[in-house]
Structure 1
Amino acid sequence: MLPGKKNQILKFIDRRFGKNPMDFPDIYRCRERLNQVRILHDTFYASDENNGYAVDDVTWTDLEMDEVFLRINQTGSYIGEQVLYHILRSGNEAFFRENSQMMQALSEDERARRELFLRLYPIGKRQANYYLPEFFANAGLLRPGHTWVFRLLQAALVLTILMAAIFRTAPFYAALGINVVVNFIVYLLMKMKYDVLLSSFCGIGQVLELYEWSTRQEIPLPVGSHMKEYSGRLKKLRKKIGFLIYTKQASLTGDVTGLMFDYLMGITLTDVGRIDGILQLIDENREAVLDAFTFVGKLDAALSILSFRKSLTHWAAPVFTEGGEITAGELYHPLIKEPVSNDFTLQDRAILTGANASGKSTFMKSLAVSVILAQTIDTACCIRFSLPIVKVMTSMAIRDDVVSGESYYVREVRYLKRMLDEIARGTLTLCVIDEILKGTNQAERLAASEAVLKYLTQYQGYCMIATHDMELVEKLQKLYRPYYFESHIAQDNVSFDYKIHPGRGGESNALALLKAFGFPSEIIREANRIDGSADSLQMTARF
C-alpha cells in the first residue's frame, strides 16, 4: 500500500474511532443494506434461534436491535458487518469467548489495531460480497454441469491442432477453425454466466489472505489450533483465485497482451476449468472457508465493539453469576444521546406502572438490551452489571398484520405463547411484556393477564411487566414487586424525571397530555367531566 493511501486510511479511521456512527452521513447507506447484512446469519445460523439463548425475530424487533446494531457498527468490511450482526443475535458461548479474547488482545495494543484496520479496509463493503454466504451454501450447485463436454472439446482442440500441424490440409484447417469457433461460443456463453462470480472470487481471496496472515501471528491474536490446518487446506484455493483474478484484471485494463491471453484461455476453455475447480474447492472445504470468513469478521467486529465502548458515557464488563439477581448500576439506553440512568435490581419479578411517556418502556428496553449486549459483546450500558445467563424474550411492539390477516390480539397471544413454551422447556428466561393483552376488552384482559402472570411464577426466571391496570397490580402485589415512574403536571406542562421508584404510584396524565398538546378546551372539559363521573360511580360501587 502506498504511504499516502495508508496515511489517508489511518486519518479516516482516527476520525471515526470512538465516535457514534449514527452521527456520520453514511449511516443511511448502512440502514438501507440491513437486509444484506443479515444474509450470513439467515443462511447458516437462523435455525439456532429456536435453541439456547439466541435472540428471536420478535425480540429483535421489539427492542429495535437493528438500531442498536447501527449504533455499534464501525466495521470496515462487509464480513465484519455480517458477523457483528450474527454475534448480537447468536447467544453463542464459543463466539462470546473468542470475541472477548480478541477485544482483550486488541484493546492493549494500538499498533495491532491500526495494522488490522489497514488490512480490513481494502476488503470494503461491495454490495455483491454480502451474498457470499449464499454462494458458499450453493457452491456445488453453481458448478458447470456436463464437464465431460468441456473435456471433450479441449481434447478435440488439441487433436485438430496436431492434425492440422502434421497434415497441413484444408479439411484439418477447417476442422480446427470449427473447433475454435465452437469453443469460443461456449466460452462466451459461460463468461456471461460466470463473470458475475469474479467479484465474488475477489472478495473471497482478500478474506483468505487476511486469514492466512492472522495465522502467522504478526500481531497478537487468539488463533485457534485448527486455523493453521484450515489455512493449509485453503492454500490451493487462494492460489487459484489469485491467478484467475490476475489474468482477468490484465484484460480489464485493456492491455493487449492481457486481452490476447484472455481469449486464449477462452478458446482452450481453461477458464471454465479453473472456475469449476474453484467452485469444487469451495464446496469441499466449506467448513474451512466459513471459519476463515467468520474469524476475519470477528476481528472486524471486535474493533467495532472497542470503538462502541469508547463512544459510551460509561460501560461495564458484566459479571456472570449462577442464578440470583440481575443488578445494574446507572443503567441507560445506548440509543439515547442524553440518557437518565437508573440503579435497579430485578430479584425475580417486577410490575411497572406510571403515566404515559414517563419512561416505563424505555427502561425495560434498557435492561433487556444490556442483558443481550452483556451476553454477546461483553459490554453493558451501566457502571456495573451482574446477571446469570438468560434468554431475553419480549412482547412489546405489537401491530396488526394486514398481509397475514393477524389481528393485534391474535399476534399478542402468539407472542406470549412462545414465551410460555420456552419457559416450559426449562430455559432460564427474562420475559419483558409491555401492556399485557391490551388488545381485548377490560374484563377479559384482567382475567387472562392475571392468569398468565400467575402461571409465570411457577417457573424459575425473571419477568418485567408494564401496565396501566392498577387493579392488576393490586391482585399481584404478593407475586410481583411494584415499581413506578412519575410525571409532574404544572398548568399546561407535563414533565418527567424518568427515574424508577419502588412501590405503587405514577398518577395518570392522559388528560393532562391532551391539554399540553393543545386539544380544544371543550374536549378537555368533557373528558374531565366523564372521568369525574366514572370515579364517582366506582366509589359508589365500592360502598
Structure 2
Amino acid sequence: MLNYYAFRFKEGLSKIGLGVKSRSQTKPEKTKNTIKKELFNFEHIALYFSNKKTHNAFQVLSDHTCNDLDFDEVFQFLDRTQSRVGQQYLYDKLRCIKLDEAQTQEDEVLIERLSKDAVLRSQIQKELDRLKHKEAYYISSLFQEEHIQVPSWFLAIKLLSFTSFCTLILTFFNPVFFAVLLGVFCVNFVIHYWNKRNLVKYVSSIPQLLKLNKVANQLLKIEYTKPDDSKILKAVSRINQLKNRTLFFQIEAGIQGDFEIVLWFLLDIIKTLFLLEPLFLFGALKRLDRERVEVETVFKYVGRIDSLLSVALLRNGLNSWCTPHLSDVNTGVVAKEIYHPLISDCQVNSIETRERSVLLTGSNMSGKTTFIRTIGINILSGLTLNTCFAKQMQFRPMRILSAIRISDDLMNDKSYYFEEVLRIKALVVAGEETVPNLFLLDELFKGTNTAERIAAGKAVLSNLAQHGNTVLVSTHDIELTDLLTETYELYHFSEFVAEERIIFDYKLKAGKLKNRNAIRILELNKYPVTLIEEAKKLAADFDDFKNISD
C-alpha cells in the first residue's frame, strides 16, 4: 500500500513540475533507421510468444536453435519497430515460421509503399510512438492470461457501496447517520486497499489497451493500412465501449492544475467511500473476458503494421538484400553473395548445393561455423520477413534444426557427449518425418574418441541427408570427406601464413581442404622447437600410414 502511494505521489510531483517531466512535456525522439541502443528485455519481448497456447505454424523455432543462431543478437539487429506491441509481434513472427504466400504478397505491397513513402512512414511512426512505454508489454496478458475471479462475496461490495450512498444522503437530514457513514467508510477502507493488489495487475495493461485501440483507430483512417475485411473495425468498436468501465484507470492522469495531488487524494477518498475501484475493476474484467478475441485482433493488426514498417526500415538501411525465391521442389540452397548481417564488412560468399548436402572443412576461426549460421539466419529471415542478406537466394521451405552449441548439463548429471547424443537423436527423428529440414551441425561427437567419432559421424550424416533434407556440417575430420563424397558437396575455408602472421580470407572454396597449418601456427606462437619437430614427425608418420592403408 505504501509503495502504491509512493508511486502515485512521485507521479503527481512530475505532473506539476516538481519532479521528472511527464510524458506530455517530453517531445518524442525522431525515429531513425538505425539499430536501437536501448536495453532489450527479452523476458518482456517474448511474453506474447511464450504465452501462446497454440502456434499453428510450419515450425516453432526451438530455444536450442535460437541459441545456436545467436537469435537474440539477430533480433536486436532486425528490430526497427516503433512500439512494444510491434516488437512482441515481430519476435513471435520470427519464432513462429508460417507459410502463407498470399499474406506474404499482401505484406510486400505495404512494405514497398512504406520503403518509398517517407510521409506515410512518419505518419504511422507518430501513431505507433504512443505505445513505446514498457507498460505496453502487458497488453497481451489481457487476452492470454486468466483474469482475477470475482470474489464470492462481491454482493457485499455492492451493498456496502449502496449503503454509503444512502447514509451520505441521510446525513444531510440527520447528523446521527454520520456515525453510520464513518463506520461503513472504515469497512470500505479495508476492502478498497485489499483490492489494490488486484488493481496493480491491470493498472498498466488496461490504459495501454485503450491507447492501442486509439492507435488502431487512427491507422484505420490511413488508406494504405486500412484492412479489406470489417473484423478489425468491429473489434475496435467493441473495445471502445470499455472506456466508461475503465475510466477510473485514467481519471487521475486527466486531472490538471497545481492542486492535482490534493484532488487525487480527495478522489481516492470518494473511491474508497463508494468502493468504485472494485466495482469498476471486476465489471471491466468481466467485459474484457468476453472481448479476448477482439483485443487480440487489434493487437495483431497494430503489431503487423509495425513489423512491416520495421522490415521497410531494415531494407532501407541495407547495402544488399533480396527477396527469396521459394521453390516447391528440392532445388537445394542457392545463395549468391550471401553475408552475415551482424558482421560489419562481412566477406560475401556464394554457394549452390543443388540437391546435395554440404560438408565444410577448415581450421578454427576460418569461418566454417559463421557460414553455417549465415545460411540459417538467411533461411529464417527469408521465411519470416521475406528478406535475405544476399544478392540472390533460392530454397524451398525447410524447418531449421541445429546442433552447434552443446554444453554439459551438470544440474541433471549429463556429460557433454550424452547431451550431444540426445540433441543429435532428436534431429535423426525429425529427419525421418515428411517435412523437409535444414540441419545445421558443427563438429559432430566431439566428446568421444577419433575412430568412433568418424564412424558415428558418417552414419548420422548419411542418415540425415535422406528424405529430401539438407545438411550443412563443419568438421575437422578430413576422413569424412572421403566417406561422404556421394551425398555431400565438399567446401572448405582456409588461411595462409605470411610474414609470420596467420591471415584468414573467409572465402568459401569448393573441394576438399588440402593445406594444413595447425603445427605451423604452434610454431608461430613460439612453442618449444623439440615439441614442434616431434609433432611434424608424427604428422608425417600418420600420413604415411594412411597412404599405405589406402
Same fold by TM (over 0.5)? Answer: yes
Equivalents in 1 of 2:418, 2:88: separation in Å? 33
Residues 464-520 of structure 1: per-residue CA shift (max 9 Å, x gap): 121121211111111112112222123522222222222212523322333444545
Pair 1:334 & 2:341 matched: yes
- Preserved CA contact (<8 Å) 1:54 1:89: yes
- Give the counterpart letter for 2:283 in structure 1: G
Which range moves more in the overlay, 288-297 or 502-511?
502-511
Residues 1:224 and 1:485: Cα distance change in structure 2 (over 3 Å): farther
Question: 1:268, CA displacement in angstroms?
Answer: 0.6
In the alignment, which residue of structure 1 is the partner of 2:374?
366
Question: Deviation of residue 153 (structure 1)?
Answer: 1.3
Q: Given residue 69 of structure 1, which amino acid in structure 2 is its aligned partner?
A: F
Structure-1 separation of matches of 2:473 and 2:75: 25
Structure 1 residues 221 and 139: alpha-carbon distance in aligned structure 2, compared to 1, 3 A threshold: same
- Which residue matches 2:222? 217
Specify the code of the residue in structure 2 equivalent to 1:56: S
Matched, 1:184 2:189: yes
Q: 2:467 aligns with which of 449, 459, 463?
A: 459
SS at match of 2:402: strand
Q: Which of 191, 205, 213 matches 1:208?
A: 213
How many angstroms apart in 2 are the aligned matches of 1:487 and 1:428? 34
Does residue 309 in structure 1 map to residue 328 in structure 2?
Answer: no
**Counterpart check, 1:407 vs 2:415:** yes
Q: Which residue of 2 aligns with 1:448?
A: 456
* C-alpha distance in 2 between matches for 1:107 and 1:254: 48
Aligned to 1:85: 91
Task: Using the TM superposition, give the Cα deviation of residue 289 of structure 1 relative to its aligned residue in structure 2, in angstroms.
Answer: 0.9
Matches within 5 A, 1:30-45: 30=40, 33-44=41-52
Q: Is contact 1:123–1:207 with CA below 8 Å preserved after alignment? A: yes
* Whole-angstrom CA distance in 1 between matches of 2:311 and 2:25: 23
* Equivalent residue number for residue 424 of structure 1: 432
Q: Is the 8 A contact 1:41 1:86 kept in 2?
A: yes
Deviations 1:214-267 (A, max 9, x none): 233355444543111211221212443356302454299752444423321221
Q: 1:222 to 1:193 in 2, by over 3 A?
A: closer
Cα separation, 1, equivalents of 2:55 and 2:97: 9
Question: Matches of residues 139-158 of structure 1 in structure 2 within 5 Å?
Answer: 139-141=146-148, 143=150, 146-158=153-165
TM-score relative to the length of structure 2: 0.87
Worse-superposed segment, 178-187 or 379-388: 178-187
Separation in 1 of the partners of 2:238 and 2:321?
41
Cα deviation for residue 340 of structure 1 reads: 0.8
- Cα distance in structure 1, aligned partners of 2:149 and 2:111: 37
C-alpha contact (below 8 Å) 1:354/1:507 kept by paired residues = no
For 2:248 and 2:175, the matched residues in 1 are separated by 37
Alignment deviations for residues 7-41 of structure 1 (CA, whole Å, 9 cap, x no partner)? 9646x21xx21x3x1xx6x34x12xx122211111
3-state DSSP class of the match of 1:267? helix
Distance 2:52 2:258 in 1: 37
Give 1:284's aligned residue.
290
Alignment of 1:14-163 (within 5 A): 16-17=32-33, 19=34, 21=35, 26-27=37-38, 29-30=39-40, 33-44=41-52, 48=55, 52-94=58-100, 96=104, 99-126=107-134, 128-141=135-148, 143=150, 146-161=153-168, 163=170
Q: State the secondary structure of the residue aligned to 2:50.
A: helix
* In structure 2, C-alpha distance between the alignment counterparts of 1:461 and 1:206, rounded to whole Å: 46
Picking from 226, 240, 248, the partner of 1:235 is 240
Is the deviation greater in 411-420 or in 514-523?
Answer: 514-523
Q: Distance in 1 between matches of 2:281 and 2:105?
A: 37
Name whichever of 113-122 and 143-152 sits farther off: 143-152
Amino acid at match of 1:173: F
Show the counterpart of 2:535: 527
State which drifts further: 86-95 or 389-398. 86-95
| Distance of 1:97 and 1:241 partners within structure 2 | 39
State the partner residue of 1:198: 203
Contact 1:129 1:200 in 2 (8 A): yes
Higher helix share: 1
From 321, 327, 336, the counterpart of 1:321:
327
2 CA distance for matches of 1:177 and 1:487? Answer: 86
- Gaps in structure 1 of 5+ consecutive residues: none
CA distance in 2, matches of 1:506, 1:59: 32
The separation in 2 between residues aligned to 1:295 and 1:232, in whole angstroms, is: 14
Structure 1 residue matching 2:506: 3-state secondary structure: strand
Q: What CA distance in whole angstroms lies between the structure 2 residues aligned with 1:530 and 1:228?
A: 76
Summarize the Cα distance change of 1:203–1:520 in structure 2 as closer, same or farther, 3 Å threshold: farther
Distance 1:270 1:426, change over 3 A: same
1:291 counterpart letter in structure 2:
T
TM-score by length of 1: 0.88
For the residues of structure 1 that align with 2:526 and 2:195, how far apart are their CA atoms? 68
Aligned mates of 2:393, 2:408 — CA distance in 1: 36
What is the aligned residue count? 523
Q: Secondary structure at the match of 1:44?
A: coil
Task: Measure the CA separation in 1 of the matches of 2:259 and 2:204.
Answer: 18
Q: Deviations over 1:166-203 (max 9, x none)?
A: 6x263x43222211221123212323541453222222
Which secondary structure state, in structure 1, belongs to the residue aligned with residue 351 of structure 2?
A: strand
1 CA distance for matches of 2:524 and 2:439?
Answer: 34
CA distance in 1 between counterparts of 2:337 and 2:274 reads 69
The Cα of 1:133 is off from its aligned counterpart by: 2.9
Q: 1:7 to 1:141 in 2, by over 3 A?
A: closer
Q: Which of 502, 509, 515 is 2:510 aligned to?
A: 502
Rounded to whole Å, the distance in 2 between the matches of 1:150 and 1:176 is 15
Q: Alignment identity in percent?
A: 25
3-state secondary structure, aligned to 1:339: coil
Supply the AA of the counterpart residue of 1:106.
L
- The answer on whether the counterparts of 2:140 and 2:299 sit within 8 Å (CA) in structure 1 is no
Question: Would the alpha carbon gap of residues 85 and 181 (structure 1) be closer, same or farther in structure 2, given more than 3 Å must change?
Answer: same
Cα gap change, 1:223 to 1:77, in 2 (>3 Å): farther
Distance, in Å, in 2 between the alignment partners of 1:121 and 1:6 is 15
Counterparts of 1:517 and 1:339, CA distance in 2: 27
Q: Could you tell me how far apart the structure 1 residues matched to 2:287 and 2:96 are?
A: 28
Q: Is the 8 A contact 2:382 2:388 kept in 1?
A: yes
Q: After superposing the two structures, state which structure 1 stretch, 503-512 or 448-457, moved more.
A: 503-512
Q: Distance in 1 between matches of 2:244 and 2:392?
A: 49
Hey, what's the Cα distance between the residues in 1 that align with 2:358 and 2:499? 33
Whether the 8 Å CA contact 1:79–1:296 is kept in 2: the answer is yes
Paired residues for 1:162-173 under 5 Å: 163-164=170-171, 168=174, 170=176, 172-173=177-178
With 458-467 and 88-97 compared, the bigger mean Cα shift is at: 88-97
Report the residue type matching 2:478 in the other structure. Answer: M
CA contact under 8 A between 2:142 and 2:292: conserved in structure 1? no
Contact 2:493 2:507 in 1 (8 A): yes
Alpha-carbon distance between aligned partners in 1 of 2:221 and 2:408, rounded to the nearest angstrom: 54
The change in CA–CA distance for 1:303 and 1:506 in structure 2 (over 3 A counts) is farther
Query: What is the CA distance between 1:122 and its match in structure 2?
Result: 2.7
Q: Which amino acid aligns with 1:133?
A: S
Identify the match of residue 435 of structure 1 among 440, 443, 467.
443
Question: Secondary structure of the equivalent of 2:309?
Answer: helix
